[in-house]
Amino acid sequence: MTDYVETDPIEGVQAGPGARRPRRWRRTPALRELVRETSLDSGDLVYPLFVRPGSGVREPIASMPGIAQLSVDALAAEASELAALGIDAVLLFGIPSEKDELGAESHAEEGIVQQAIRALKAASPELVVMSDVCLCEYTSHGHCGLLDADGYLLNDETLVILGRIAVSHADAGADVVAPSGMLDGMVGTIRAALDAERHEHVAILSYAVKYASAFYGPFREAAEGAPEFGDRKSHQMDTANAREAMRESALDVEEGADALLVKPALGYLDIVQRVHDRFPELPLAAYNVSGEYAMVKAAAANGWLDEREAVLEVLTGIRRAGADLIVTYHAKEAAAWLRESA
C-alpha cells in the first residue's frame, strides 16, 4: 500500500510521509475539544442588573434587546433563573427615585441598590453580589462626582462620597464593591472606609482601566445616567493610550484592589492581555459593554450573522486574551447555549 501524498495544485509540492499536518487535531468535534486551549463556562460570566423603584416593573431597554430595568420585587425570580443557568454573580446598577447635585440616594440606607442587595441575598445567599460604586446615575447633572462652579469634577471631595457608598453597600450585604469612576485614589479611600467599618471581608473590583469610549451609549439609556453637558474625558482614559493603563492598574494594586477590570473589552483585548501579563496574581475582569452587545444583537436581527456562534466567539476571545471574568449582557443566553453543548 502506498503512502497518501497530497500535491499542491499550483506549485506541484508534495506533502509526503512525516509532513506537519495541524489539521489532524481539527478533524472531529471530539478531537477539537480535546486540545482546546481556552475554556468558557457559565461560572466565568457576571450578569449586569438595572434596578429601579416601583413594583412589578420590567421595563425593556430599546437599545439593548433582551435587557430590562427591574423593580426590587422581581429580583428573587431573576436570582433563581441565574442559579439554574449556572451564573454565580451579578453586578448591580441603580436608578434612584430622585436625583440631586450631590447624588444623596447613592449612599442612603433605603437606596435602590441597597434594597436590591438585601433582596438578592435573601433570595439567593450564595449569589455573588457586586455593586457599582459611582455617582453618575444619582446626580442631576449625570456626572460621576461632585462638580465645581465651572463643571469640573472634584476628585478628592467625591472620594468621600464613594467611601460612603461602598460602606452602605457592604452594610446591605454586598460581596464585592466595584468603583467605576476612574478617580485618583478611589481604591485606597474605599478600602480605608470599608476597613474602618469592619468590612475587611468585602472585596474591591476596581475599574482600573476604563476608557472614554463611544460604546457606552445604550448603557446610558439603561442606567439613565447620561451627562447633561460635557463628557467624562477628564477622568476616563484616552482611547489611544496603552502604557497609561499599566500605570493606572499598578496604582490600584498598590492601593489594595482585590481584582482589576478593563472596560470596554473588544476594542481593548490588547490591554486585557497586558494587564493579565503584568498582574497575573489578581483576578481580571473585562466588561463586554452595552454597545458591543447592541452591535451583535442588531446584526443578528438583520440576519447578518449567527448570533449564537458570534456571541460564544466573542466571549471566548475575551477569555483567551486573559480575562478570568466577563461582565456581559449576553450571560443568560451564553450560559444556556453552553449548557446545550455540554
Catalytic residues: 210, 263
One DSSP character per residue, 248-287 reads: HHHHHHHHT-SEEEEESSGGGHHHHHHHHHH-TTS-EEEE
Q: Helices (DSSP H) in 95-154: which residue ranges?
A: 112-123
Extract the C-alpha cell encoding 176: 464585592
Place of cell 499550483: 10
Residues 6 or more apart whose CB falls under 8 angstroms from that of 52 comprise 59, 69, 70, 71, 94, 95, 112
How many CA atoms does the CB half-sphere of 79 hold within 13 Å?
A: 20
- Contact in structure between 223 and 137 (CB atoms under 8 Å): yes
Q: State the maximum Cα–Cα separation within the chain, in Å, rounded to a whole number.
A: 88
Whole-angstrom distance, CA of residue 198 vs CA of residue 149: 36
Phi and psi for 230 in degrees, rounded to 5? 65, -160
Nearest-10 crossing angle of helices 75-85, 112-123: 50
Closest CA to 205 of 107, 112, 282, 320: 282
| Distance from C-alpha of 166 to C-alpha of 134, rounded to nearest angstrom | 9
